[in-house]
Amino acid sequence: MRIFLKILAILVLMVTVLAAGTVLYALETRVPEITIIQSRAIPAAEARDSFESLQGQLEAGTCTGHVFREESPVLENSTFLNLTLRLHNRCLLPMEWIETAVVPEEGDILEERDERPKVLAAFAEGDLPLRILTENENMSRRIRIRYYLLGKAFDTEIQVNFNPELAEDEQP
């Protein structure tokens, strides 16, 4: 009986240590690894068709993106900021309802993003596109990523520089 209790105590201790290690790993890896795949600033004059389409949608009130300003943008002053982020879920739990959003600055007109709910399985990776139309000269933006783990909301932010002189692999 004594030997059985010793073996049982050792097994319970091993299970407890394993469970504690799993919980600590899940807590430590709850923030995804974020990589900037693409960050480009494109003058609206070079993407005239997209600009005119968005301008028409803004005037008609049918724009599907998040509108920051109702005024009609001017082609010569506007710039598209295109961004693709790659998220790598290092956690043991799936990330659910993932969404990206720009922290708007003065001069930002709208953002377009994929509004469908996204789920990233454990140890998986996926891309999140975002496009911003702005009249602001500042080519740097804070991007907020919101996601849920087991129903609890988490937020993280990343600073993205859209300056064409700064290579994408040089960004923090």
pLDDT in tens, 27-48: 778 889 999 999 999 999 999 9
How many whole angstroms separate alpha carbon 145 and alpha carbon 88?
A: 13
Both tokens of residue 74?
Answer: 């001017």
CA angle 20, 24, 159 (to 5 degrees): 170
- On whether the CB atoms of residues 79 and 134 are closer than 8 A, the answer is yes
Strand ranges of the sheet holding 108-113, from the earlier edge strand across to the other edge: 33-43, 79-88, 125-134, 108-113, 66-67
CA 34 – CA 66 distance, rounded (Å): 23
- Whole-angstrom Cα distance, residue 44 to residue 20? 53
| Contacts with 146 (C-beta within 8 Å, 6 or more apart), sequence order | 97, 98, 99, 101, 153, 154, 155
E strand residue ranges, 32-78 = 33-43, 66-67
Residue 30 CB coordination number (10 Å): 19
The CA angle 65-62-75, to the nearest 5 degrees, is 70
Residue 110 CA to residue 64 CA, distance in Å, equals: 10
pLDDT score of 102: 94
What is the tens place of the pLDDT at every residue in 124-146? 999 999 999 999 888 899 999 99
68-94 residue pLDDT tens: 987 888 889 899 999 999 999 998 889
Cβ atoms of 160 and 171 closer than 8 Å:
yes
Residue 53 pLDDT exceeds 70: yes
User: Token pair for residue 42?
Assistant: 């494109």
CA distance 51 to 68: 16
